[in-house]
Amino acid sequence: MDYQAHETAIIDEGCQIGKGTKIWHFSHIMSQCVIGENCNIGQNVVVSPQVRLGNNVKVQNNVSIYTGVVCDDDVFLGPSMVFTNVINPRSAISRKHEYASTHVGKGATIGANATIVCGHNIGEYAFIGAGAVVTHEVPPYALVVGNPSKQIGWMSQYGHRLHFNGQGIAVCPESGQKYILKNNKVDILYDE
């Protein structure tokens, strides 16, 4: 076993768990999950069947990741955030055949207590603020907050708010990386 799991964690048969991953107290990793290398699965986390997590995914305490969710590398899932997988759940009606998928792009952050309504993808390096309720697609690098969530800006790969000048250029204050905003889309600006 190339990963670490606390003795209270439950890991069902048929899971693939990458080297260096740590699974903490009272977490349940259900069948047919694929969890990448160097992930950190916090306390009291539920990872439902067939969920896929990339490498270096950080899942904080009390998170529920339901079937239909795929997270790319370097995703951060904040404390007590939750995904859904059925648009109109009813206790008396089985809708397992109606699960909607959600894809979270590389490097995205989802803040504490946020809810991601199923079927809405999160772009790479997007930043979902604490308590936000996401009910629509989130573009790469977008900063969204509120209930229902609204985009209020753009974020760098290092998680800093970008401030664009008149030419549509912004610089991350930590990395120095330049970004360009064009046609309501952010891209990294590579020096020529």
Which residues in 93-184 belong to E strands, given as ranges? 102-104, 109-110, 115-116, 127-128, 133-134, 142-145, 150-154, 169-171, 178-182
Give the SS3 label for residue 102: strand
State the CATH class of domain 1-155.
Answer: mainly beta
Question: What's the pLDDT tens digit per position in 54-102?
Answer: 999 999 999 999 999 999 999 999 999 999 999 999 999 999 888 999 9
| pLDDT for 173 | 97
Q: What sign results for the dihedral spanned by CA atoms 66, 32, 9, 96? A: positive
| pLDDT for 97 | 87
| pLDDT for 192 | 54
Residue spans of the domains in the chain: they are: 1-155, 163-192
Per the listing, tokens 């047919």 go with 32
What is the residue type of 129?
G
CB 171 within 8 A of CB 178: yes
Buried b (16+ CB within 10 A) or exposed e, 79-100: bbbbbbbbeeeeeeeeeeeebe
Buried b (16+ CB within 10 A) or exposed e, 156-191: bbeebebebeeeeebbbeeeebbbebeeeebeebee
| pLDDT for 144 | 98
CB 80 within 8 A of CB 62: yes
pTM of the model: 0.96
- Tens digits of pLDDT across the chain (192 residues): 799 999 999 999 999 999 999 999 999 999 999 999 999 999 999 999 999 999 999 999 999 999 999 999 999 999 999 999 999 999 999 998 889 999 999 999 999 999 999 999 999 999 999 999 999 999 999 999 999 999 999 999 999 999 999 999 999 999 999 999 999 999 999 865
C-alpha to C-alpha distance for 32 and 46, rounded to whole angstroms: 13
Please spell the DSSP secondary structure of 64-91, one letter per residue: EE-TTEEE-TT-EE-TT-EE---SS-BT
